[in-house]
Structure 1
Amino acid sequence: MAVLTRSRAAAEGARKSILRFPNEILYMVMECSSTSELWAICLTSKRLRSIATPMLYRNIHLHGAEQTVFFIRTMQSQPSESSESLLLHVQEFVIANDNALVGATPQIIDDLYSVVMKMSKLKHLLLSSKAFIHFTTLLRDSKFHRLQTFRYVLGPAESSEEFLKFLARHRATLTALWLDCEKPITFAQSIDLPLLHTYDGPSWVLKFLKNSVGSLRSVVLRFKEPDIDYRSPLKQLTNAHSLLTLEIVIVDITPRRLREPAILAAVAQSALYGFAFDDLMPMRQHLSRFTALSELRFAIFRRESVSAVNDDLPILDAWLRVCETLSMVHLDGVDWRLVDGAWIPSG
């Protein structure tokens, strides 16, 4: 006969008391649990495991080759037609880096494509790998009826036509687009994404998003040589009447090309060169085009003279006079916030 100690009896009583709740309540409780906590819950009872397991597969982030193979095997063991299949619970699928596909054979890639295309409730698809493997087949054959977020690395030898067709198939749901591209590509047609409110990618893509610019609320433009046309993308954004935040990242551009005052902001994402301090004031003429911009980020790496933080105040006041919605500015490592009509520094 098993003898229950006091601590074991207490644990057993707690487990039984939890199981008195209906599945709906248990689901709400587990919604607040971390991944490690969900793993622990899976070890307690069959009933709790049946609730927690689908939650573990809502967000799939592949970081390594071994993990990718294990994931494929797990998904292939699931009956795709069954309502209990884990494939039906995946809402976010992320290939975070190149390591997830290191040593992947053509068969592994084909199996991965097959698995992803069966994720009928997928909302977020983020393919960040810059490895030799292209996802053209996945772009050509997939259709996700709930897709909202898409991140993609478009290789120089990859078909931009399939990429455009993929976007076109998801125009009714897509709200956020991140794009990485090694060099400018000429698309055969404009990209019409009527619900798009977030864009992060090369500045030259904006001219192909001209039918979607009006709905944009958050934009990150990435400039790099040989692309040095600052004015055209900014002119395109003057039609973005709902724009709230604008960031510009400048990559691989020599210092002599950075004295162009048409650039509104630069973000310190890597070891970049910066603007001359005297270029800041003339930017007020460009800020006057924006009627809803609340946040502006600007990184300076070279000032022609050493300046105290308070020397930034005339610039901030000048910008505020032409862009009355401005309330937060990141300038040379300092966050300025507008509080009761006055600029307060922090950071």
Structure 2
Amino acid sequence: MVITRRAFKISRSIIAWLPNEVLFFIIAYAAHPELLSLCLTSRLMREISTRFLYRGVHLNTKKTLKLFLRVDRWCTSPPALSHVQKFLVKQDLKLAEAHVTQITRVVLLMTSLKHLLLYLAEPIEFHQLLQDGVFPNLVTFRYIVQPNTASAFIGFLHRHPTINNLTFASEESIQFPRRADSTYLKIYEGPNWGLSLFDVSGLTSVSLMWYSDGVDIDCCLSQLTEAKDLECIVILTSTTTPTEAEILAGISRHAPHVKVLRLRSLVAKQVGLSLEQAVEIQGHLHKFSALSTIELPAVDYNTEFRLDHDMQALKLWQDACKTISSATLNSIIWQSVNGEWYCANSGIKRLITMMKEGVLGPTFVLVPAFEF
């Protein structure tokens, strides 16, 4: 790694014998101050370092937003903008309409942009950006769609068939004027009704948000039948229905080849999975051909756990689906090694050992880990 105070000396020594491609690779890992120092050493080092100085723009705070909005400074230096590959606005950063106008003006000049992340907690419309933006290399796009920008949103996707990672959200179901061009789409995260906008045959990972009761499971999941390379499914719900067993039944019918299955809820459940519910789930697991990881929704901190019941459930599931090797049940992460299940959460292994030694009874209150 190039050290700032020795940048000039080292740059002269390595330029003599390292190809430009190797220099490029090494400098890619340099810190920001080091890149600035290298820019002062030679024209070659300046050209290489400049690419990395401007490769990402992250608006995380009001201060960074204020600095970025010096539009005149940016617009007098278009070559710098041509190096930007990632533009991100932090999710909780609040923007005014004037900010959006200025940001749009600058982002439109980022011709090499690959990742555009505008997924804000307080949705605000980037209508002009959606309408006029053209980024030939764009691969990742995150956005919150409003009903009156639906047409511009679809138009933006249609102009960018290179997108392979798409995340979008909407507070309500929206009627879009047409389907989107999704030739290279591999990863989709969004509302369940949004799947109908795309050709899903190339998907490898899908995360569906279900915000209301009465979701037609078969209608939603039947579209995944075409996704022959699908490996991961994440279902995020905000209600108590459908149940885990009902969701598993639908997935087993339409995507039995999936390898990773995660069921999550916006609200932690007050009651852990019972042994009876585990048996019901077992009835669907035998249909999966390659399932290795299964995750069920988290439970409330104060839930009483029965680890003996959980281990029974895991053994039942593995009997039904031999390929399962990892599971998250009642907020506890488990791993299977040579057919035996072990708790993978930090600090919980000791509690299980104490239980086996008789120090703790089979029933006790456990504080689970929610960060996986």
Separation in structure 1 between the aligned mates of residue 196 and residue 340 of structure 2, nearest angstrom:
37
Give the residue type in structure 2 aligned to 1:59. G
Aligned length: 322
Structure 2 partner of 1:142: 133
Q: 1:12 to 1:233 in 2, by over 3 A?
A: closer
Structure 1 letter corresponding to 2:82:
L
CA–CA separation in structure 2 for the residues paired with 1:132 and 1:243: 30
Which residue of 2 is the match for residue 225 of structure 1? 212
Aligned residue in 2 for 1:169: 159
Query: Map of 1:84-99 to 2, 5 A cutoff?
Result: 85-99=79-93
Q: Secondary structure at the match of 1:194?
A: coil
Match of 1:17 in 2: 13
| Shift in Å, 1:340 | 3.2
Q: Counterparts in 2 of 1:82-231, with a 5 A limit?
A: 85-99=79-93, 101=95, 103-105=96-98, 108-131=99-122, 133-155=124-146, 157-171=147-161, 173-209=162-198, 211-212=199-200, 214-225=201-212, 228-231=215-218
> Paired residue for 1:4?
none
Equivalent in 35, 52, 64 of residue 49 of structure 2: 52
- Over the residues paired in the alignment, what is the CA RMSD in angstroms? 3.3
Structure-2 residue corresponding to 1:29 = 26
3-state SS in 2 of match to 1:196: coil
Distance 1:161 1:273 in 2: 41
Q: How far apart are 1:230 and its partner, in Å? A: 3.7
1:76/1:115 contact within 8 Å kept = yes
Q: Is the 8 A contact 1:149 1:176 kept in 2?
A: yes
Shift in Å at residue 296 of structure 1?
2.1
- Which 5+ residue runs of structure 1 have no aligned equivalent? 1-8, 80-84
Q: Which residue of 1 aligns with 2:361?
A: none
Alignment partner of 1:78 is 2:77 = yes
SS of equivalent residue, structure 1 residue 243: coil
Q: Which residue of 2 aligns with 1:263?
A: 247
Shift of 1:28: 2.0
Report how far residue 346 of structure 1 moved.
0.8
CA contact (8 A) 1:247 1:296 kept: no
Q: Does the C-alpha gap of structure 1 residues 199 and 29 become closer, same or farther in structure 2, counting only changes over 3 Å?
A: same
Distance in structure 2 (CA, Å) of the matches to 1:306 and 1:15: 61
| CA contact 2:272–2:299 (8 Å) conserved in 1 | yes
Contact (CA 8 Å) 2:215, 2:242: kept in 1 or not? no
Structure 2: runs of 5 or more not aligned? 249-261, 346-372
Partner of 1:235: 222
Change (3 A) 1:318 1:244: farther
> Counterparts of 1:134 and 1:10 in 2: how far apart (Å)?
47
Q: What does residue 333 of structure 1 align with?
A: 331
- Taking the aligned partners of 1:276 and 1:317, their CA distance within structure 2 comes to 15
Spell out, residue by residue over 1:133-158, the C-alpha distance to the aligned partner (whole angstroms, 9 max, x if none): 30122112222221111111112x43
Query: Which residue in 2 is equivalent to 1:68?
Result: 65
Alpha carbons 1:250, 1:272 under 8 Å: kept:
no
SS at match of 1:97: coil
Contact kept in structure 1, 2:185 and 2:202, CA below 8 Å: yes
Q: Distance in 1 between matches of 2:277 and 2:33?
A: 50
1:154-186 Cα offsets, whole Å, 9 max, x none, are 12x432122122222222x22111112112223
Q: Is 1:259–1:279's contact at 8 Å kept on the other side of the alignment?
A: no
Equivalent in 302, 309, 312 of residue 311 of structure 1: 309
Paired residues of 1:241 and 1:292 also in contact (CA < 8 A) = no
1:187–1:295 Cα change, 3 Å = farther
Give TM-score, length-normalised by structure 2.
0.73
- Over 3 Å counting, the alpha-carbon distance change for 1:282 and 1:37 in structure 2 is farther
Deviations 1:32-79 (A, max 9, x none): 22445435555x635444432320211211123442343343431214
Deviations 1:85-122 (A, max 9, x none): 12221111111224262x452xx433322322222222
In percent, how many aligned pairs have the same letter?
30
Shift of 1:12: 7.0
Query: Residues 147, 16 of structure 1: CA spacing in aligned structure 2 closer, same or farther, 3 A cutoff?
Result: closer
Q: In structure 2, what residue type is equivalent to 1:262?
A: E
Letter in 1 for 2:76: S
* Cα pair distance change 1:216/1:57, threshold 3 Å: same
1:297 deviation in Å?
Answer: 1.7
Contact preservation (8 Å) 1:125, 1:150 = yes
Per the alignment, residue 82 of structure 1 pairs with none
For 2:245, what is the secondary structure of its paired residue? Answer: coil
Assess, with a 3 A threshold, how the Cα gap between structure 1 residues 34 and 21 changes in structure 2: closer, same or farther: same
Structure 2 counterpart of 1:95, one-letter code: V
C-alpha distance in 2 between matches for 1:290 and 1:187: 34
Task: Work out the CA distance in 1 between the residues paired with 2:223 and 2:215.
Answer: 15
